[in-house]
Structure formats: C-alpha cells, structure tokens
C-alpha cells in the first residue's frame, strides 16, 4: 500500500511489470527530472550519470538505449542541473561540489522512494565518469553502492585531452589519403600539431571539436542501435535547445579537473568499459582508472570494446550488456 | 562533451481579443487586415515547459468574403512554466516532501501561420477559431527552450460588428 505523501511503490507500472516513473527532484534552485525505467520487481537499481557536461540522460530513456537492462534492473535516469531539460534557476551553483551534492540528494530520494532497492550501482558515462568518481570519492558515499560502472569516463581531464589529441593525430595521419575534404583534414592536423598542450578552454574546444569530427568518420555506420525515426525524434517529449550553454561556467573543471589524487579512496567493485574507436575519451583513461582506483585488483575490471565509439552501448551491444550484467551479478 | 539541439512540439489553446483591427486593403468583401491583440494561452509540451503565457501578438490576415481567413503572426510575452509530474524537495529534517509545480518564468516569442474561420455570434460579436502551426521560443536566465512546432487552437473575440 502506498503512503499518501511519499509513495514507497511505483507510480506507473505497465501490464508487463515495467516501471515508467517520472518526477522531479527540487534542490537548491534546480528542478531535476528523474525517470525510472525497468523491472518493477527488481531489487537492483542503476543510477546513471550522463556526460557532457550538460548533456541529458532522459534522452537515453526516451530512446530505449539501455532497454536490455530493463528485464533485470531498474535504471534511474536524471538530468543534472543546467543540463537536458532540468528546470529552475540553472545558472547558479554550477560547480563540482554542487553537482556531487545533487547526486547525494538524488540517492537519498531513490532510497526513500524505492525501499526495495537493496543493491544500487552507479553508472557514469564520459563526464559522468568524472562526476561519479568525485561523488564516490567524497565522505562515505561509496558505501551506498555495490559497484561502480564507468563508461568511457573522463575522470582525468588533462590526461584525456592529450590522449584525445594523440588519437586524432594518429587517425588523421594514417587515413589522410582516404578522407574526404583533404584540405580540411590537413588543417585539422596542423591545428593539432600546433596545440601541444591544453591549458585553456579554447584549446580544449579545439581538440574536442576535432575529436568529434574524427568520431563522425571513424564511427560512421557502425552503430548497431536502431535510432528512433526522425518523426519520433521530432515528437520526442524531451530536450531543450542549445544543450551545453553553461560550459563557460565550468571551464576550470573541464580543463584541469583530475580525480586521480582521490581515487585510491574508492574501494568498491568497479567495471571500466572503454571504446577502441573512441577519440573523445580514449582507452588511455581506462588503464589510468584501473591504476588509480583503490579497489582490490580482483574486484576491478577493464573492458575494451575494440570496435566501439564513445556511446559504448550503441556499438557492440551484446558484448556491452553482457559485461554489465555479468559484473552486476557478481556483486549485487 | 556532446552538444546537440533538440526541439519538440507543443500544443496551445489561447484566447485573444484584438484591440487594433486595421484594414490595410479591401477588395469587394475580401480584406487584408492587421490585428494587434493581447493573448492568453495555455501551452502544453508533455514533460517539459508546459505553461501559461501572456503575449502581445501582431497578426496579418487575409480575410475572405466567406470569413475564412489566412494569417501570419508573431508575438512576444512571457510564459510561466508549470512542471508536469510530482516534485520532491528535501526538508530541513532530511525528509522528502512534495513541492509546488511552479516552473521558470520565460520570455517567450512565437511566430507562425494559421487558418481561421470567423462567425458572427448572436450578440453581434465576431468570433474566430484559428488553427495554427508555428514555433515558440522561450528563454530565462540559464534556460532556453524551443518548440519547433506548436499547434494552436485560438478563440478570438472581436468587437461588436455593426
């Protein structure tokens, strides 16, 4: 029986026992949309931290990108402050401490709202890897989780930008003769050569922009995820225009943020998955994560999906979801 | 980092009262008219930026003798956002309570095309029912929303027609 004020059961379960809960967490000026999808009988929850920063997790829920996990688990998607279609006064408190605190409060809400959540895993993608690492590193936050799943996580930004630059240089050099718009790629290569270090936001955007161009070519046609039709996207109930319009407020974090110093404090089981064809957060960050996490060696795993790009779950989907499920089954 | 633009459709229901109805040209019983109106609308975009709007709107209409009208319109005003769904907020004791549905206050612009039918009421007032297709843009410090498509049903009440 559900209480009137705080429901301890799902608001919306369809006929096949799948959850479809949607609500907001209001905290320090931001209204954060939270969508819960998956198995209504599940005792294992996965809280997903999206990347960007200022990207969206709700989009993943709308598109059903993580549906292979819904049979066994409940997934919690939420848009961080200033991101996706979070509301409220989004241009305040845009800093790492607040982002971490938002996750803490979200966790408390999930634990209170879903008392059946006996095992909780944290999953962070890209910038979400940085945020998740910062969160787990703080106080005793990690004690709430059975495991940490980092997907192409950028927990060390200075290392990441250099690795990304190297990846792009190598790719362009090796493939320049086959690339269209040769002049443009020559220019990209020269730009990369002339940016030996990333010391400011403009240089970061340059490196990152070229990495996305490389990804567009390298990953073209390799996604095995059936994207929704244009009509579905056009009628999608989510999204705000001009995602990432707060990047300027987190410049220092993006350029210099490095979670390595505190990662030895993280001791929970950890699965790190990186894509071999990801120029945006290359595999170098995976080994870095394994090296710096304090998790015992037998409980931390690095998986490289050789043919996958940045959105790992879109490429070698069977292998990706097998790895995630195997990890969770070991520790839930 | 990733960036993308997403736009999404909404539906609006509105009420407007033209305060200026200027006939630009007239031929037989067909008119080309400019109307300036305050408009109150209720805008619905599921899961995002539903709200109540108050706008000033300029509409250029071709009004045919059969009282079927074609228009282009543009407007500016505010949109008071209403959040759809339950909102939870942590109190000082650390417990979560349900909070109010109030969303942001946005500056809002809109523009589009429409078709309408005018009828004369029993009281001698001209009423128009519009079907519109347009775009809405809403902005508040720190948040921007855009609707690529909005469908509207507008109820227009005009001054008593002699």
Alpha-helix residue ranges (DSSP H) falling in chain A:
58-63, 96-113, 127-137, 157-175, 182-193, 201-218, 230-234, 251-256, 284-292, 317-331
Residues A245, B144: C-beta atoms closer than 8 Å: yes
What number is the ipTM of this complex?
Answer: 0.86
Lowest mean pLDDT among A145-149, A203-207, B133-137: B133-137
* Domain extent listing, chain A: 18-156+223-331
Alpha-carbon distance of A49 to A132, in angstroms, equals 7
Name the residue with higher pLDDT: B152 or A51: A51
User: A22 in contact with B at a CB cutoff of 8 Å?
Assistant: yes
Both tokens of B125, joined, read 């007032």
- Give the pLDDT confidence of B22-81 residue by residue, as tens digits: 888 888 878 898 989 898 888 776 656 678 889 899 999 998 888 898 999 999 999 888
- Give the pLDDT confidence of A30-48 residue by residue, as tens digits: 889 899 999 988 999 999 9
Confidence at residue A50, expressed as pLDDT on a 0 to 100 scale: 95
Helix (H/G/I), strand (E/B), else coil: A134: helix
**Whether the Cβ atoms of residue A331 and residue A301 lie closer than 8 Å to each other:** no
**Does position A248 have pLDDT exceeding 80, yes or no?**
yes
Confidence at residue A113, expressed as pLDDT on a 0 to 100 scale: 93
Alpha-carbon distance of B68 to B58, in angstroms, equals 18
Residue among B6, B83, B103 whose CB faces A240 most closely: B6
Q: Please enumerate in sequence order all residues whose Cβ is within 8 A of that of A52, keeping only pairs 6 or more positions apart, or say none.
A: A80, A83, A126, A127, A243, A244, B1, B2
- Beta bridge mates, B74: B58, B111
What is the share, in percent, of chain A residues with pLDDT greater than 70?
88
Confidence at residue A91, expressed as pLDDT on a 0 to 100 scale: 65
Confidence at residue A275, expressed as pLDDT on a 0 to 100 scale: 97
Q: Please enumerate in sequence order all residues whose Cβ is within 8 A of that of A164, keeping only pairs 6 or more positions apart, or say none.
A: A207, A208, A211, A279, A280, A281, A282
* Domain extent listing, chain B: 9-85+98-160
Contact list, A245 vs chain B (CB under 8 Å) = 144
Rounded to a whole number of angstroms, the distance from the CA of B53 to the nearest CA of chain A is 17
Alpha-carbon distance of A32 to A90, in angstroms, equals 10
Residue among B5, B83, B149 whose CB faces A87 most closely: B83
Closest C-alpha to B32, from B76, B69, B66: B69
**Mean pLDDT over residues B93-112, rounded?**
86
Alpha-carbon distance of A274 to A51, in angstroms, equals 14
**Does position A315 have pLDDT exceeding 70, yes or no?**
yes
Most confidently modeled range among A82-96, A219-233, A280-294, B90-104: A280-294
Contact list, B2 vs chain A (CB under 8 Å) = 51-52, 55, 126, 212, 243-244, 310
Closest C-alpha to A79, from A101, A96, A95, A103: A103
Confidence at residue A154, expressed as pLDDT on a 0 to 100 scale: 97
Residues B1, A254: C-beta atoms closer than 8 Å: yes
Q: How many angstroms separate the first and last alpha carbons of chain A?
A: 26
What is the share, in percent, of chain A residues with pLDDT greater than 90?
70
**Does position A136 have pLDDT exceeding 50, yes or no?**
yes
Residues B8, A238: C-beta atoms closer than 8 Å: yes
Number of cross-chain residue pairs from A and B with Cβ atoms under 8 Å apart: 133
* Whether the bond into A53 is cis, omega within 30 of 0: yes
Name the residue with higher pLDDT: B92 or A228: B92
What is the share, in percent, of chain B residues with pLDDT greater than 90?
19
Confidence at residue A13, expressed as pLDDT on a 0 to 100 scale: 59
Q: How many angstroms separate the first and last alpha carbons of chain B?
A: 63
Interface test with B, best of A7, A8, A24 (most B CBs within 10 A): A24
Residues A85, B47: C-beta atoms closer than 8 Å: yes
**Does position A61 have pLDDT exceeding 50, yes or no?**
yes
**Does position A160 have pLDDT exceeding 80, yes or no?**
yes
Query: May I ask the CATH architecture of the domain A18-156+223-331?
Result: 3-Layer(aba) Sandwich (3.40)
What is the share, in percent, of chain B residues with pLDDT greater than 70?
78
Rounded to a whole number of angstroms, the distance from the CA of B71 to the nearest CA of chain A is 25
DSSP B21-83: EEEEEEETTEEEEEEEEEEEEEEE-TTS-EEEEEEEEEEEEEE-TTSEEEEEEEEEEEEEEE-
Residue among B87, B141, B145 whose CB faces A91 most closely: B141
A residues 253-312 lying closer than 8 A (beta carbon) to B: 254, 280, 310
B residues 99-158 lying closer than 8 A (beta carbon) to A: 99, 103-104, 137, 141-146, 148-149
- Give the pLDDT confidence of B142-160 residue by residue, as tens digits: 555 555 456 666 676 665 5
A residues 118-137 lying closer than 8 A (beta carbon) to B: 126-127
Alpha-carbon distance of A169 to A187, in angstroms, equals 12
**Axis-axis angle for helices A201-218, A157-175 (nearest 10):** 50
């Amino acid at each position: 029986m559900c209480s009137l004020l705080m429901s301890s059961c799902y608001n919306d379960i369809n006929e096949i026992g799948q959850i479809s809960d949607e609500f907001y967490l209001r905290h320090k000026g931001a209204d954060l949309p939270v969508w819960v999808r998956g198995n209504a009988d599940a005792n294992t929850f996965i809280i997903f931290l999206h990347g960007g920063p200022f990207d969206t997790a709700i989009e993943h829920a709308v598109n059903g990108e993580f549906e292979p996990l819904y049979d066994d688990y409940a997934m919690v998607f939420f848009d961080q402050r200033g991101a996706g279609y979070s509301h409220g006064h989004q241009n305040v408190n845009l800093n790492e401490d607040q982002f971490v605190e938002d996750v803490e409060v979200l966790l408390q809400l999930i634990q209170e709202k879903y008392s059946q959540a006996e095992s909780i895993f944290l999953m962070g993608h890209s910038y979400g890897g940085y945020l998740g690492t910062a969160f787990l590193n703080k106080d005793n936050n990690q004690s709430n989780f059975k495991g940490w799943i980092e997907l192409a996580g950028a927990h060390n930004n200075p290392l990441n930008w250099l690795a990304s630059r190297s990846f792009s240089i190598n790719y362009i050099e090796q493939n320049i003769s086959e690339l269209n718009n040769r002049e443009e790629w020559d220019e990209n290569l020269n730009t990369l050569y002339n940016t030996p270090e990333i010391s400011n936001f403009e240089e970061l955007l340059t490196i990152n922009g070229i990495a996305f161009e490389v990804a567009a070519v390298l990953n073209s046609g390799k996604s095995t995820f059936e994207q929704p039709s244009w009509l579905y996207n056009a009628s999608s109930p989510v999204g705000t225009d001009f995602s990432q319009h707060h990047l300027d407020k987190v410049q220092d974090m993006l350029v210099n943020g490095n979670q390595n110093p505190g990662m030895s404090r993280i001791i929970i089981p950890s699965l790190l998955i990186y894509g071999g064809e990801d120029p945006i957060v290359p595999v170098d960050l995976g080994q870095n994560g394994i090296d710096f996490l304090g998790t015992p060696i037998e409980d931390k795993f690095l998986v490289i999906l050789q043919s996958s790009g940045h959105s790992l779950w879109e490429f070698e989907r069977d292998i990706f979801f097998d790895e995630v499920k195997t990890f969770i089954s070991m520790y839930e | 980092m990733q960036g993308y633009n997403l736009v999404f459709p909404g539906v609006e229901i509105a009420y407007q009262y033209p305060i200026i109805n200027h006939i630009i040209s007239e031929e037989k019983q067909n008119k080309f008219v400019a109307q300036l109106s305050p408009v109150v609308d209720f805008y619905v975009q599921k899961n995002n930026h539903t709200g109540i709007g108050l706008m000033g709107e300029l509409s250029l209409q071709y009004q045919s003798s059969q009282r079927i009208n074609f228009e282009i319109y543009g407007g500016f005003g505010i949109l008071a956002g209403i959040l759809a769904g339950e909102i939870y907020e942590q109190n000082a004791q650390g417990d979560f309570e349900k909070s109010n549905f109030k969303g942001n206050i946005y500056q809002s612009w809109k523009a589009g095309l429409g078709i309408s039918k005018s009828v004369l009421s029993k009281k001698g007032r001209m009423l128009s029912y519009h079907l519109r297709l347009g775009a809405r843009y809403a902005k508040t410090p720190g948040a921007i929303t855009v609707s690529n498509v909005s469908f509207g049903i507008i109820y227009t009440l005009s001054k008593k027609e002699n």
